Structure 1
Amino acid sequence: MTNITSVELNYLVFRYLQESGFTHSAFALGYEAGINKCPIDGNLVPPGALITFVQKGLQYLEMEANLTCQSETDMDEDFSFLQPLDLITKDVYALQQMIKDKKKSQQKDMDKEFDREHDEGELKHVREREKHDREKEREKDKERTEKDKEKRKQHEDHTLREMVTDQEDKVDVIKHEENGISGGSEPMDISTASTSRACEIPSSDVIILEGHTSEVCACAWSPAGSLLASGSGDSTARIWTIAEGASRSSLQNGPSNVLVLKHVKGKTNEKSKDVTTLDWNGDGTLLATGSYDGQARIWSSNGELKSILSKHKGPVFSLKWNKKGDYILTGSCDKTAIVWDVKAEECKQHFEFHSGPTLDVDWRNNVSFATSSTDSTIYVCKVGEKLPIKTFSGHQGEVNCVKWDPTGSLLASCSDDITAKIWSINQDKYVHNLRDHAKEIYTIRWSPTGPGTNNPNQQLLLASASFDSTVKLWDVELGRLICSLNGHRDPVYSVAFSPNGEYLASGSLDRSLHIWSLKEGKIAKTYTGNGGIFEVCWNKEGDKIAACFADNTVCVLDFRM
């Protein structure tokens, strides 16, 4: 029988393990041939230690064999937790415990990283607000210079008034014909450099709703009547009763006129509890809210919490009821959209197509919808379909907003790439590329006019609001600019058409709410509050406008021409 030395024995075990694919074991057992040096620390290995090497190698071999039921990737991940020295100094059970402990530690690090990413994924409008606040700081010197120029030109007031009058005369080119607004050969810049004080809404026609303890970022009128909902960073939504002829004194902090919908128990200053979005169902009986905690909630009109919808892993950025009222659609920072079955109070379908946070969602009809994302892509999806039924690619920046026209045949989108686009469900490329803004376009709205609306004899329009401080009106049939409304001084975050399509309200960071007469092409009414405006909305009757402000208030303006 041939004798074998301890060095040869160890080398044979080493080669066997290595050629069998167990490279970690081989590395632990191997040492420089013929020199009895451990490759781990370089020290001489006494012959009596060879059996320890073999035992450790066999134990580790057994451990590897027990892991063969896992995927190859999982095995690699398990082995990566161990150092060669561990293989020599610890038995297999200690090694297994080390793997478990290090996996737990790794998972904690991953959870922390996930939380960090979501903290960085601030709400889109908050993120943009901060960006443009910084921009405003850089432009302060320029503004001071402009103010100085205004002072030096005060003696030219008479000439300025004549210029404004002449400008308003030019607006007559935009005629309110039987079929709506039709532009002249060139788009108009509608300037309001010296808006008449007669346009200012008197304080007697303004109700200031106080009670929120943080900025109010969302508001919506109930389609059923006098209820107004608001959502705030204070972790609450509120339902205000705005009765006809209500006075300021009867509404301010009146407990009988407001319902507080608390999204967390007790007091909290956590940013993750912001109420980010809200929407009423079609008959005004239920209010849905989305929160930065990733949950959607359904409330009755009397403030009762009906259900909590939990599946998102990040803040909910957008939320919409379908017309039928059986589904709610949500879009989240976690890159997904979810359709919820309201009656069953559960997820109907989870859509995971985007590679970046989902910024906006909008129903096309009761079962299909569009989603937009920071990944520059728009998907059209349908309940029951596993893949998108349409993909729109063409934007070069984050797509902030998507809106279907009243008939569901055209989709409008706007982006940080400074364009708005109009898409047709019947073709892949955009129908029109609207490029007249100078900065990012934050939001868009279709007019309630044209086919499929209560105003079928008026022309269908698209309004876009931008960080360039302007609102622009577009002819969607021709894809051209009709006019630019240049009354704001800071980014415009919200626009809303009146129910009859004759007026447009716009709210800006300059604290001003302008109500534009589309027939005359100029400001009909204006109101200035004490903070930036994040959203404006009309009631169903068209005689009241609500605006939510950064100074924690909601204002209701009486609008009767």
Structure 2
Amino acid sequence: MDAGSHSISSGKNSAAAVQRPPLQEAGSRPYMPPLSTTSRNPSAKCYGDRFIPDRSAMDMDMAHYLLTETKKDKENAAAIAASPSKEAYRRLLAEKLLNNRTRILAFRNKPPEPENVFAADTVSSHQAKPAKQRRYIPQSAERTLDAPDLVDDYYLNLMDWGSSNVLSIALGDTMYLWDASSGSTSELVTVEEDKGPITSVSWAPDGRHLAIGLNSSDIQLWDTSANRLLRTLKGVHESRVGSLAWNNNILTTGGMDGRIVNNDVRIRDHAVQTYQGHSQEVCGLKWSGSGQQLASGGNDNLLHIWDVSMASSMPSAGRNQWLHRLEDHMAAVKALAWCPFQSNLLATGGGGSDRCIKFWNTHTGACLNSVDTGSQVCSLLWNKNERELLSSHGFTQNQLTLWKYPSMVKMAELTGHTSRVLFMAQSPDGCTVASAAADETLRFWNVFGTPEVAKPAPKASHSGMFSSSFAHIR
């Protein structure tokens, strides 16, 4: 497909991958023959639990003599037994037993050592469970799709994967939806040339409504199930909107003007809170899982942590009041990822002049660790099922790197993209990761594996709220 075509189709080398069901492992499980009974080796020695004496090794005459003592011997024994002399007893004992080396019963072969099966089972039952085997991580993409006209801009956020298992990706002026369940692709909208290109995209929690930020500073809200534009937010920013983040019914937007605005989509006067702390473009926005803290990263190399309770308690000062202002990064901070298993842990990544992944305690503002990755950090994703972190990079290897947390030991490096991997998105089940790069390809990786117990997809509990809210607002 030529680069000017506005569609997402299978890559040249992915015909076989497209035929496979989506979100499945690249290869089928190898065939294993059933277990068969093997014949016993007749030459092998087998020891049972009975031992039969070997009569050829016995001295039958001596045995008969010892068993049928003479009358003299009996009289001596009776005399000694009646005598209090211990010395006589020892002499008779040495004569009859200690100096007699003849074996009454003898065995030709030494019996084997017993196998203490029951003891071994008892010990193992009390031991801790064996260490979990390291899972197999495929080194190649499960599927590759063409993504022509993908804007090569580090500061934008052009891809997101919703809770309804639909991936949205902006290619130039057009927004496409790829249904991971069926593998089908549809076009949602192509914006007017004077408003485009599309600069950011984010799914609402219900997986049905989609927010689209434009180069013209407008923000569009779409009902994807009805393919209908519900509302356009105007005047929120003075220039392009490069980052979006949802917190229930609040849509937070970040612009090139450095402003961060909370928009309540249920009301006509939607701009309810403004955070001002960045002097340049806001290129990263992420709400914590609890919805209490917002992380923002900018082209001014700053990272801010904003707290909802602080802003609500001081509305007049909320425009400037951040909880933490962190200046450790030496380049733009775009990659942000809240930890799913520790609510106050945030991972951030810096641009080409920084190349570091940093970990923060957002309650105290302390930097817990910093790792130099050697290349531009474009995006970060946590594994929802294991303590792992995935990063995507720019120059020079354009790779995805899987890290073990907290040791930050590299578990795998996934290569295939030929240009910087600008965006990553995670499937609702947390297993598959989609990566989009400046080489105009979209690749799917089964990097996080399959959880032991699959978690059900979250229910669309906000669909009614959005429909009723937008019914009378335009």
Supply the AA of the counterpart residue of 2:27: A
Decide whether aligned partners of structure 1 residues 243 and 415 sit closer, same or farther in structure 2, where only a CA change above 3 A counts: same
Query: Aligned equivalents of 1:533 and 1:325: distance in 2?
Result: 25
Per-residue deviation, 1:345: 3.1
Query: Aligned equivalents of 1:522 and 1:259: distance in 2?
Result: 28
Q: 2:175 aligns with which of 290, 293, 296?
A: 296
Is the Cα contact below 8 Å between 2:380 and 2:424 reproduced in 1? yes
Kindly report which structure 2 residues correspond to 1:182-221, keeping only aligned pairs within 5 A, or say none.
none
Q: 2:279 aligns with which of 383, 393, 396?
A: 396
Give % identity. 23
Secondary structure of 2:370's counterpart equals strand
The match for 1:470 is: 356
> Are 1:414 and 2:414 an aligned pair?
no
Secondary structure of 1:237's counterpart equals coil
- Decide which moves more: 411-420 or 337-346: 337-346
The match for 1:98 is: none
Gaps of 5+ in 1: 1-211, 215-232, 263-268, 450-457
What TM-score comes out, normalization by structure 1 length? Answer: 0.49
Per-residue deviation, 1:540: 5.2
> Are 1:277 and 2:158 an aligned pair?
yes
The match for 1:348 is: 230
The match for 2:407 is: 520
The match for 1:424 is: 307
The match for 1:20 is: none
Kindly report which structure 2 residues correspond to 1:263-274, keeping only aligned pairs within 5 A, or say none.
none
The match for 2:344 is: 460
User: 1:484-541 CA distances to partner (integer Å, 9 max, x unpaired)?
Assistant: 011x222111111111351111121122322211132332333444443223455555
Q: 2:420 aligns with which of 488, 512, 532?
A: 532
Gaps of 5+ in 2: 11-17, 29-137, 312-317, 451-474
Decide whether aligned partners of structure 1 residues 501 and 462 sit closer, same or farther in structure 2, where only a CA change above 3 A counts: farther
Query: Aligned equivalents of 1:560 and 1:261: distance in 2?
Result: 24
The match for 1:479 is: 365
Kindly report which structure 2 residues correspond to 1:131-280, keeping only aligned pairs within 5 A, or say none.
235-238=6-9, 241-246=22-27, 277-280=158-161
Query: Aligned equivalents of 2:408 and 2:183: distance in 1?
Result: 41
Kindly report which structure 2 residues correspond to 1:356-367, keeping only aligned pairs within 5 A, or say none.
356-365=239-248, 367=249
What TM-score comes out, normalization by structure 2 length? Answer: 0.57
Is the Cα contact below 8 Å between 1:506 and 1:513 reproduced in 2? yes
Supply the AA of the counterpart residue of 1:480: A
Q: Which structure has greater helix proportion?
A: 1
Is the Cα contact below 8 Å between 2:298 and 2:333 reproduced in 1? yes
Is the Cα contact below 8 Å between 1:213 and 1:552 reproduced in 2? no
The match for 2:335 is: 443
**Rg (Cα) greater in structure:** 2
The match for 2:256 is: 374
Query: Aligned equivalents of 1:560 and 1:346: distance in 2?
Result: 36
Query: Aligned equivalents of 1:502 and 1:439: distance in 2?
Result: 27
Supply the AA of the counterpart residue of 1:420: L
Query: Aligned equivalents of 1:270 and 1:279: distance in 2?
Result: 17
The match for 1:151 is: none
Decide whether aligned partners of structure 1 residues 438 and 296 sit closer, same or farther in structure 2, where only a CA change above 3 A counts: same
Query: Aligned equivalents of 2:7 and 2:374: distance in 1?
Result: 31
Secondary structure of 2:364's counterpart equals coil
Supply the AA of the counterpart residue of 1:279: D
Higher RCO (CA 8 Å, separation ≥ 6 residues)? 2
Per-residue deviation, 1:399: 0.6
The match for 1:556 is: 445
Supply the AA of the counterpart residue of 2:222: W
Decide whether aligned partners of structure 1 residues 336 and 259 sit closer, same or farther in structure 2, where only a CA change above 3 A counts: same
Secondary structure of 2:289's counterpart equals coil
Decide whether aligned partners of structure 1 residues 334 and 283 sit closer, same or farther in structure 2, where only a CA change above 3 A counts: same
Decide whether aligned partners of structure 1 residues 349 and 557 sit closer, same or farther in structure 2, where only a CA change above 3 A counts: closer
Supply the AA of the counterpart residue of 2:186: L
Query: Aligned equivalents of 1:363 and 1:537: distance in 2?
Result: 15
Is the Cα contact below 8 Å between 1:420 and 1:435 reproduced in 2? yes
Query: Aligned equivalents of 1:272 and 1:525: distance in 2?
Result: 28
Per-residue deviation, 1:556: 2.8
Q: Cα RMSD over matched residues?
A: 3.7
Per-residue deviation, 1:446: 1.1
Is the Cα contact below 8 Å between 1:235 and 1:273 reproduced in 2? no
Supply the AA of the counterpart residue of 1:291: L
Query: Aligned equivalents of 1:557 and 1:523: distance in 2?
Result: 17
The match for 1:503 is: 388
Query: Aligned equivalents of 1:508 and 1:306: distance in 2?
Result: 29
Per-residue deviation, 1:339: 1.5
Is the Cα contact below 8 Å between 1:499 and 1:538 reproduced in 2? no
Is the Cα contact below 8 Å between 1:376 and 1:397 reproduced in 2? yes
Per-residue deviation, 1:316: 1.0
Query: Aligned equivalents of 1:344 and 1:540: distance in 2?
Result: 22
Query: Aligned equivalents of 1:323 and 1:496: distance in 2?
Result: 18
Per-residue deviation, 1:546: 4.7
User: 1:256-299 CA distances to partner (integer Å, 9 max, x unpaired)?
Assistant: x979789xxxxxx8788999833343222x44333322x43445
Supply the AA of the counterpart residue of 2:199: F
User: 1:217-258 CA distances to partner (integer Å, 9 max, x unpaired)?
Assistant: xxxxxxxxxxxxxxxx863335753423527xxx9xx9xx97
Q: 2:189 aligns with which of 292, 303, 308?
A: 308
Decide whether aligned partners of structure 1 residues 238 and 433 sit closer, same or farther in structure 2, where only a CA change above 3 A counts: farther
Per-residue deviation, 1:337: 1.0
Query: Aligned equivalents of 1:288 and 1:546: distance in 2?
Result: 11
Decide whether aligned partners of structure 1 residues 559 and 303 sit closer, same or farther in structure 2, where only a CA change above 3 A counts: closer
Query: Aligned equivalents of 1:325 and 1:543: distance in 2?
Result: 18
